[in-house]
Amino acid sequence: MSDYDVIVIGAGPGGYTAALQTAKNGLKTAVIEKDSLGGVCLNVGCIPSKSLLKNAELARTLRKDAKTFGISCDNLNMDYSSAVERSRKVSKRLNQGVAYLLKNAGVDVYFGKAEFTDDHTLHIFMNDGSEKDMTADAIIIACGTKPVEIPGMLPDGEKILNYRQAILQTSLPKRVVIIGGGAIGVEFATILNGYGAAVTIVEMQSHLLPNEDAEAGAELERSFKKQGIKVKTGTALCGVDKTDEGVVVHLKQDEKESTVEADQVVIVVGFRSNAPELGLEKAGVSLTARGWVETDEMCRTSVSHIYAIGDAAGKVLLAHTAEAMGRLAGDLIAGKAPAPLRYDLMPHATYSHPQVASFGYTEESAKAAGIAYKTAKAGFIANGKALGLGENEGWVKLLCDAETNAIIGTVLVGPEVSELLPELSLAAMHNLTAVDIARNVHAHPTLSEVIMEAAMELG
């Protein structure tokens, strides 16, 4: 007889959600976490970064736009360490909340590192130095990822930083180079620029946010340059030299080499799975060539009673995707029949200034898939709510199937556009058309009116 019905490896957004779901379904559940409840997202990722972004928004307004709002800021003093302290308090509060939820649900929590010894047994190296074996009828892998490290440019926490070190440091660098123009890179650029740091962001691909619509990346680049952020796209990192003053970053663009001097370089170029560290071969669980756990549409691995969710599965590396996968796996193990997830409709949100949000097909991916589509755009430039906020840059672009007019994707650039996604992704999930969106009355004045205006062009 097993020790538990379900053991979850990892207590990030996917792991603790899965554990709560299996416990809710009446299954005896345990969670094994080697670090902190809530995982990267809650402790050193999406939650503290949003706190810092709010501080940066206030700092940017007072530094650059105070006169626009009739505010005088003589002798303005901004304490970056206080912003970081606030972000830590936010994370701590949510960490404690996760602990309460797990305890209240009757989930046993063990702090340590898990390794498989067979397909039902885990050997736990406890953080207190002890070791123990635990068995379960079903196991959920939710072990997350770690940052990709570049040989010869390993982070030291002082002059070369990864995202974890950058989000925890309490001092503001005067000059910083950010390597990687994905979501994390542009959010760090937004934070540091808001506080007045001189920021250069370097991206190897042709536009910022390379996994997003190219037009959105170009729009964000234009806005960044207006804010004083230097952007170098189509540029490769060749090396980093440490100096007494900071770093010299060596770059190459179109065979032309250049250097940038800075106090620090922050490297955020991607992630790799922690799954290869779990001894999965002893359980018979298959990995992809890149180290992700192979799963089917229902999160099952090559071993039917072992599941993988969240970043470990490598499908969509976002916290809300992990949570959705956790709920699905938790219900499936309990004998329920949940519907498969639509990964193509998962929302993507980047909390830069301005924000970028999307789901579904981009124009590039629709063309690659041979899908006939049509688009419509509407801008925030004349939107009453955006003008009132003093943030009327950006636009909404809708993609619809050329024949049915059903919404198949969207990308938005502008103020708080992450909050506008659910209307559109819900419409896509239920095969609604641009006509349906256009007929839905949107409150005035709201940012969402821009969605209605774009839909009217297609309706």
What is the residue whose two structure tokens read 């200034």? Answer: 353
| CA atoms lying within 13 Å on the CB side of residue 251 | 24
CB-facing half-sphere around the CA of 394: CA atoms within 13 A = 30
Look at strands 264-267 and 395-401 and give their pairing. Answer: unpaired
| Nearest alpha-carbon partner for 6 in 138, 111, 142, 134 | 138
Give me the torsion for CA of 131, 132, 136, 142, rounded to 10°. -10
Concatenate the DSSP letters of all residues of 117-167 into one string: EETTEEEEEETTS-EEEEEEEEEEE---EEE---TT----SSSEE-HHHHH
**123, 207, 348, 444: the active-site residue:** 444
Backbone angles phi, psi at 4, to 5 degrees: -140, 155
At 271, phi and psi to the nearest 5? -135, 155
For every residue of 37-104, DSSP letters joined together read TTHHHHHHSHHHHHHHHHHHHHHHHHHHSTGGGT---TT----HHHHHHHHHHHHHHHHHHHHHHHHH
* Catalytic residue flag (residue 207): no
Query: How many Å apart are CA 299 and CA 146, to the nearest integer?
Result: 21
Provide the token pair at 270.
């991607």
CA dist., res. 322 & res. 314, Å (int): 10
Structural tokens at position 397: 């672009």
Name beta bridge partners: 161: 266
In the chain, how many H helices and how many E strands?
13, 21
Does residue 25 come out as left (phi exceeding 0), alpha (psi in the -120 to 50 range) or beta? alpha
Give the CA-trace dihedral at 436, 442, 446, 448, to 10 degrees. -10
Q: Decide: 218 and 250 in contact? Cβ < 8 Å.
A: no
Instruction: Count Cα atoms within 13 angstroms, Cβ side, for 198.
Output: 7
Residues recognised as catalytic: 444
